[in-house]
Structure formats: structure tokens, C-alpha cells
């Protein structure tokens, strides 16, 4: 079921492996949020027979990357952190920033990441916005310690860390 962009999968999987996000092959049901993908504890499960858009793998991994190490360990388990929905709206915005930076880093065409069948019809707008240097939510990514502040030599879209390092104390329910 892969699109003609399936040849980008080794590049995406190689990058995720390098930064410490496991991609595990597993048969998945047809009712996953994105076809052929599901988040698990510290990993992304992929069903290659059902995966339609390889860029979705990079975006879903971004959800893990921007969470604290504690949150990554319970991703996909149904547990919640401090009774909060996951991902939060802020984490969704930061995931867009993270996945854009990752796509630039691995030289993935933005049309593969922000494909026309996703992002609620806003894929073209997202590409134009990011390419124009408008980075909505960037202060949150900086606050998380993932990138240097705007104006520094290693500022976004360069990343200081690919995985969020620490966080506040958490209550797991």
C-alpha cells in the first residue's frame, strides 16, 4: 500500500535509529490513527503492508522525541501523565517543528513529510510557512532544550538534541 515515496523509508528509519527511537515492525489493525503506524513505549510500531505515507513515520516519531523520557516510556500504553491528554496542543505544534527540522537534517523532501493527504488539508500552507522562516511555537521547542535560541549560530532548524532530555516530576495515573 506504500506510495511511490517508499524509497525514503530507509533514510527515515536510519535517522530514527541513530537518535534512539526504535521502529518495530508489527501487524496492526485497520483502525490506527494513521495507516500502518502506532506509538508504543519508546518506539513506533509500523505495519509496512498498511503504511501509506512514509513521512507520517517521521512525524509520529516526533511525538516521542518531544516528550520527556518518562512520557516516552508510557506512550501508547493508555496511561496518562498527570491526567492530561497526550499529545497536548503544544506538543503537536512542537512535533511539527521537530519533524520539519528532522526532514531538513536528512534531506527529506517536505512534500513527503507534509503530504497532501494529511495535516487537515494544510500541507501546502505548512511547507510555505516553514520555508518562509515562520516557526510558530519555536519558543516552546527552545524551552524544551531541543534547539538554541533564535539568533545563535546553531539556531533552529538545527537541533541541539533530537530527544527531549528531562522534565518535571510526573504523576503517572
Residue 94 maps to a domain: yes
Residue 152 maps to a domain: no
Residue 149 maps to a domain: no
pTM, whole model, 2 decimals?
Answer: 0.88
115: which 3 cell numbers?
Answer: 503530504
Residue 157 maps to a domain: no
Residue 167 maps to a domain: no
Does residue 81 carry a pLDDT above 50? yes
Q: What is the pLDDT of residue 170?
A: 35
Q: What is the pLDDT of residues 126-160, one digit of tens each?
A: 999 999 999 999 999 999 999 999 889 889 999 99
Residues of the chain above pLDDT 90, percent: 68
Mean pLDDT of 2-15: 85
Q: Please state, in angstroms and rounded to a whole number, the distance separating the CA atoms of residues 96 and 26.
A: 25
Q: What is the pLDDT of residue 20?
A: 95
Domain span holding position 11 = 6-143
Q: What is the pLDDT of residue 6?
A: 85
Mean pLDDT of 4-9: 85
Q: What is the pLDDT of residues 19-57, one digit of tens each?
A: 999 999 999 999 988 899 999 999 999 999 999 999 999
Residue 171 maps to a domain: no
Centre a 10 Å sphere on the Cβ of residue 123 and count the other Cβ atoms it contains.
18
Q: What is the pLDDT of residues 84-122, one digit of tens each?
A: 666 667 788 999 999 999 999 999 999 999 998 888 889
Q: What is the pLDDT of residue 75?
A: 81
Q: Is 94 helix (H, G, I), strand (E, B) or coil?
A: helix
Crossing angle of helices 89-105 and 54-65, in 10° steps, is 120
Residue 122 maps to a domain: yes
Residue 151 maps to a domain: no
Number of domains in the chain: 1
Q: Please state, in angstroms and rounded to a whole number, the distance separating the CA atoms of residues 76 and 141.
A: 22
Amino acid at each position: 500500500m506504500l506510495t511511490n515515496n517508499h524509497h525514503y523509508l530507509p533514510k527515515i528509519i536510519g535517522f530514527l535509529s541513530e537518535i534512539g527511537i526504535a521502529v518495530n515492525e508489527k501487524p496492526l489493525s485497520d483502525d490506527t490513527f494513521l495507516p500502518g503506524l502506532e506509538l508504543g513505549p519508546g518506539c513506533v510500531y509500523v505495519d509496512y503492508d498498511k503504511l501509506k505515507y512514509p513521512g507520517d513515520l517521521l512525524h509520529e516519531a516526533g511525538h516521542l522525541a518531544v516528550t520527556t523520557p518518562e512520557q516516552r516510556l508510557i506512550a501508547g500504553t493508555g496511561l496518562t501523565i498527570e491526567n492530561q491528554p497526550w499529545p497536548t496542543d503544544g506538543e503537536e505544534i512542537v512535533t511539527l517543528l521537530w519533524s520539519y527540522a528532522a526532514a531538513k537534517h536528512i534531506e527529506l523532501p517536505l512534500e513527503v513529510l507534509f503530504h497532501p493527504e494529511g495535516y487537515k488539508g494544510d500541507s501546502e500552507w505548512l511547507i510555505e510557512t516553514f520555508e518562509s522562516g515562520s516557526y510558530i511555537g519555536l519558543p516552546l521547542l527552545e524551552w524544551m532544550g531541543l534547539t538554541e535560541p533564535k539568533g545563535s549560530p546553531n539556531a533552529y532548524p538545527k537541533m541541539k538534541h533530537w530527544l527531549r532530555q528531562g522534565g518535571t516530576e510526573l504523576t503517572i495515573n
